[in-house]
Each structure stands twice: as C-alpha cells, then as structure tokens.
Amino acid sequence: MNPLELSIQAEINQSENHSISFVRFMELALYHPRHGYYRQTRPKVGKDGDFYTSATVHPVFAETLADAVLTIWREQGIEEPVLVEAGGGTGHLMKHMLTHIQNTAPDVYGRMKVMMIEISGYHQELQRQALAEFRCPQVWYPTIEAAAEAESIEGVIVSNEWFDAFPVRMLDKTVEGWREVGVTWLEQEERFAEVHLDTFSGAREEVDVLEKLLVELPASLPVGMRIEVNTAVAGTMKAISDLLHRGSVITIDYGDRQEDLYHPSRRRGTLMCYHRHQASDNPYQLVGEQDITAHVNFSELIRRGEEVGLNDVSFQRQDQFLMQHGILHKAQSHNDRDPFTSQAMKRNRAIQQLLMPSGLGGMFRVLVQRKG
C-alpha cells in the first residue's frame, strides 16, 4: 500500500462506523496535502501526463478564448480588466491567451492584471514559469474563496475542466430510496469497498442541497441508478460572485443540464479515472496516482449563479462557442505537403479536432454568466 492508501485506511478505521463518505475518499485521493493526486510533483496534462484538455491541443483554442474575453470586456466597458483562471494546471492556457491579447490588443494588455486560482504548489510554480515573460501584474490565490476575501475585481473568470475535479457525493437509488455511497476497508481482502451510509454525510447546508436536488429528480428513475452530486457548487458560485464586482464567468467542462445528466441512459453515473491516458471507472485502484472526475451539472451552476447575481448569458457546445468567436477565421491557407512540419496544417487539424461534434466539440459545454 502507498502512503495515501494507508492514510485513508487509518481514517476509515478510526471512524465510528468504519467507513467514510465517497466524497471524503475522493477529496483525499485528489487533494491530500502531501500525497493527493493534484499535490504531486509530476505531469498531469499532455503526452507525459494522464489526460489531454482542449487547451493542450493547440494554442488556437486559447486564441479564440482570448477573443471571447476581449469581446466581453468591450461590451461591458471594463477599462482595467482582470483575467482570472481557476485551476490553470501548467499555465499554458493563460500563457497563450496573454500572448494573443498582447499581439492583438496591446492597449488592453497594458491595462490588465492576471489572477490565478491554484491550490497545488507544484502547479503554481509551473504557472509562474509559464507566465514569467509577461510584464502585466500577476497574483496567485490557493482558492476562489481566498481571492474573494482579498479582492473585488472587474473582468472575466475562466475555467477549463475545473469543476469536474471537485469531489462529489455518490448516491444509489435503492428500494428504500436514495442512499449515499461510503467507502470501507476490507482487512482480509486488503482492498477498499463500497457501502451505503445510514444517513447523508456533511454539514447541514450541504445535506439541504442534496435533499432539495433529490426531490427534483424524476420518480421514474430506476432502482440501481447511480448519480454524482457536487454539493460545493453553491459555496463556489457565491465566492465567484463575491470576487467578481462586474464582468463575466466562462466555464468550460464536460457535463450536461440536469435532465440529461441524471438520465436512465447513464445508469452507472459518470465517474471516470485517468492514468497514463488509460480510462477506467475504478477509483479504488492507483489511489493518488490517477485523476478522478465526474460530469458537471450545469443546471446547478446556472441556478446557483442566478441566486448570487450571475445571470445566464449562454449555454452551448464547445464547437458552437468556438465558431461564434471566430475560430474558423483562424484557419490558414497553404500549399504545404508535409503534415509533420507544416504549422498551417497542424493549426487546421487542431481546429477540426476542437470542433468535431463526436469529439471535443460535442463533448464539452461552455457556460457564460454575467454580472453587472
């Protein structure tokens, strides 16, 4: 067993019922201060990591996103804008966005500030290295809550595959109703195993969120149905609104509206794990060494945003968003023949990949919310 597994096992053994909630298991697996997946000093994204994101396909993704940000700043008349990225990983998305803004809108670049929200010290250091060449003011905060306590800004808050890494509660529909999934340790078999908790775990406000959502679900959902719920959304959206005095929020992630996410066609939920570009649905192996994600309930982001003054502007597929903001105009004509050396061919292939309805273009959703 690795040190993280030993730590989780010890917490289970010390608990009253020899079990912890799945959301606590996922929190430890991803964010344990020393051994959690996102705290480790090794690549997570790209060829040498465990998964790819749209931002790693080609800088044209960041260029198009930067154009969307510039449009928002112009429309809202924001003169001294702050560009915030939450969960920026290596910092390459922000790097390419800043390069594009510097090249195409130098007047705006001269007035802007950068804020990075990053809990991982390892990723913070990678981001500082990636952004070292830019002269605009830069500041880092470990959480969106910490940023909201310190500042009030006008600008845009961007996240790309951030919400999908939040620890989630896992629930099963049984003949007795919805039961929260917990995790125990089987000593003889030396492995983690799932159990059903007697009551919903967590603080009262989180349980209230959970119970309210379960009331909204169709009674026709079959016994054996499994869902994941991020009960931290309400607090996160409040912190985002507290930070953002005026501006917009762009959230890019895989997920759906609630009626499509919690549908019988997804009977076993959406939880997935990634290790060295291999996918599985088993979070109890390679603990601390693999990413664990779940689809985002965008209906909940919209609902909680509206409660705190973030109005829904648009919700669409990634391909629709990118085309709306001019990605097709970024394709380059050429007479090149070698696909391995031609930068134009690489750019055009990337645009096609980002827009493909059966791939990244159709898999990811983009939610834009506005305040002020």
| pLDDT tens-place values along the chain, 372 residues long | 899 999 999 999 999 889 999 999 999 999 999 899 998 887 777 777 766 776 777 789 999 999 999 999 999 999 999 999 999 999 999 999 999 999 999 999 999 999 999 999 999 999 999 999 999 999 999 999 999 999 999 999 999 999 999 999 999 999 999 999 999 999 999 999 999 999 999 899 999 999 999 999 999 999 999 999 999 999 999 999 999 999 999 999 999 999 999 999 999 999 999 998 899 999 999 999 999 999 999 999 999 999 999 999 999 999 999 999 988 888 777 776 666 677 777 878 888 888 888 777 678 999 999 998
pTM for this predicted structure: 0.93
Among residues 17, 332, 313, the alpha carbon closest in space to that of 182 is found at 17
Crossing angle for the helix pair 92-104 and 121-130, to the nearest 10 degrees: 30
How many C-beta neighbours within 10 Å does residue 236 have? 20
Please tell me whether residue 177 adopts helix, strand or coil conformation: strand
Overall number of domains in the chain: 1
Cα–Cα distances (Å) from 137 to 69, 80, 331, in that order, read 18, 12, 32
Among residues 149, 66, 82, the alpha carbon closest in space to that of 115 is found at 82
Fill in the DSSP letter of residue 173: E
How do beta strands 272-275 and 278-280 pair?
antiparallel
Instruction: Compute the Cα dihedral for 351, 353, 357, 362 and give only its sign.
Output: negative
Which pLDDT belongs to residue 42?
79
Structural domain boundaries enclosing 167: 1-372
- Look up the CATH number of the domain holding residue 164: 3.40.50.12710
Identify the bridge partners of residue 179 per DSSP, sorted by sequence position.
Answer: 172
Q: Reduced to 3 DSSP states, what percent helix, strand and coil does the chain have, rounded to the nearest 5?
A: 40, 25, 35
Cα–Cα distances (Å) from 111 to 35, 88, 106, 245, in that order, read 40, 22, 9, 18
Cα–Cα distances (Å) from 164 to 140, 161, 229, 231, in that order, read 21, 6, 11, 13
> How buried is residue 1: exposed, middle or buried, by Cβ count under 10 Å (0-12/13-18/19+)?
exposed
Which pLDDT belongs to residue 58?
77
Among residues 221, 233, 300, the alpha carbon closest in space to that of 262 is found at 221
Q: Quick one: how far is CA 85 from the chain centroid?
A: 11
Distance, in Å, from the CA atom of 24 to the CA atom of 36, rounded to the nearest integer, reads 12
Q: Which tokens sit at 156?
A: 């845009």
Among residues 116, 156, 160, 120, the alpha carbon closest in space to that of 140 is found at 116
